[in-house]
Amino acid sequence: MNKSKTIFITGSGSGFGYASAISLAKRGHKVIATTHTEASAKDLNTFATANNLDIESFKLDISAPEDRNKIKDYDIDVLINNAATGQSGSLAEITLERLQSDFEVNVFGTIALTQLALKNMIKKNFGTVVFISSLAARAPMPFLGSYSMTKSALSSGVSVLRKEIKNLSKNIHISLIEPGAYHTGFNQKNIAKKYEWMDESSFFFKKIDKLKKDENSYFEKLELNSTKSIVNKIVRACEVDKPKKRYSAPWWQSIGAEFLKMFN
Ligand SMILES: NC(=O)c1ccc[n+]([C@@H]2O[C@H](COP(=O)([O-])OP(=O)(O)OC[C@H]3O[C@@H](n4cnc5c(N)ncnc54)[C@H](OP(=O)(O)O)[C@@H]3O)[C@@H](O)[C@H]2O)c1
């Protein structure tokens, strides 16, 4: 490992964020692993103490400005923007409130937190911001339009930010992570959301049985049970002097996404 860094993560109560926080702390970094809820932060702090890991956890809802301001209390070397939500359902009828809620977290909250982190990074002329996007940004999925749109917007913003920051410093890096499908429960949580409102009034009501069958089989076939391959990429982006612009995993899903792009 290179020298120990101070690494700030969002959405660390579960999935990639949780696994990355533990992995990074085990590798000797100081990890500020923020979570969506107080309860998740308490669990993570208990785990860290029991396992003698340098992890500090507290609630940080990235859509809440007063929560985002907590980042100002830390001199961080790396910010990992991991927190996200995913609405599902047809774009032809999803409510704007649902669309907006995804954009609030995945785009606006993420960029606002990044702006706060960059202030200090620019001042000290050092740092890395890692954004967890998705292969769904390259190959947007039907009935996951809201989520896919936010990740496309985020990936596009990351390219812009990288080019802009390059004008200011060669020591501040902006890196994009594009995971494929992993069984963290995130996809199941998201695909279920549309059935809260896609009822008899939906244009697609008669297609719902087939849709459920297809999406379940899609994720059953694609999802990896271990998050190791993507966590390794996240760790690498945090540790190396010059992280790559883009990391994706698993490699075969990345190739699949490029292939699907031709049919978009
Ligand atoms: N799993 C996949 O197949 C997959 C594929 C591509 C990309 N990704 C991306 O990977 C990242 C992590 O996802 P994951 O699979 O590890 O799922 P996850 O375990 O559900 O992680 C998402 C985390 O974000 C938190 N969160 C939601 N809204 C938040 C908010 N407003 N403020 C702070 N935290 C918030 C969630 O907390 P609560 O659960 O308490 O709400 C959860 O801990 C996400 O950016 C996701 O888009 C995942």
Instruction: Give yes or no for residue 41 CB within 6 A of ligand 1.
Output: no
Mean pLDDT, rounded, for 163-189? 98
Residue pLDDT, tens place only, 86-137:
999 999 999 999 999 999 999 999 999 999 999 999 999 999 999 999 999 9
Q: Which two tokens stand for residue 113?
A: 């937190």
Domain residue ranges in the chain: 6-257
Please answer whether residues 122 and 169 qualify as being in contact, where contact means their C-beta atoms are separated by less than 8 angstroms: yes
Looking at the predicted structure, is the pLDDT value of residue 260 above 90?
no
How far is ligand 1, taken at its centre, from the CA of residue 54, in Å?
22
CATH of domain 6-257: 3.40.50.720
Give the pLDDT score at 1. 52
Looking at the predicted structure, is the pLDDT value of residue 172 above 70?
yes
Residue 102 has a CB neighbour count (10 Å cut-off) of 25
Task: Look over the chain and give the mean of its residue pLDDT values, rounded to a whole number.
Answer: 97
Give the pLDDT score at 262. 82
Give the pLDDT score at 175. 98
The minimum-distance atom of ligand 1 relative to the CA of 16 is 16
Please answer whether residues 185 and 157 qualify as being in contact, where contact means their C-beta atoms are separated by less than 8 angstroms: no
Give the pLDDT score at 109. 98
Share of the chain above pLDDT 90, in %: 96
* Helices and strands in the chain, H and E counts: 10, 7
- By alpha-carbon position, which residue is closest to atom 42 of ligand 1? 11
261 band by pLDDT with thresholds 50, 70 and 90? confident
Instruction: Give yes or no for residue 132 CB within 6 A of ligand 1.
Output: yes
Give the pLDDT score at 2. 60
67 band by pLDDT with thresholds 50, 70 and 90? very high
The minimum-distance atom of ligand 1 relative to the CA of 61 is 32
The minimum-distance atom of ligand 1 relative to the CA of 12 is 43
Instruction: Give yes or no for residue 20 CB within 6 A of ligand 1.
Output: no
Share of the chain above pLDDT 70, in %: 99
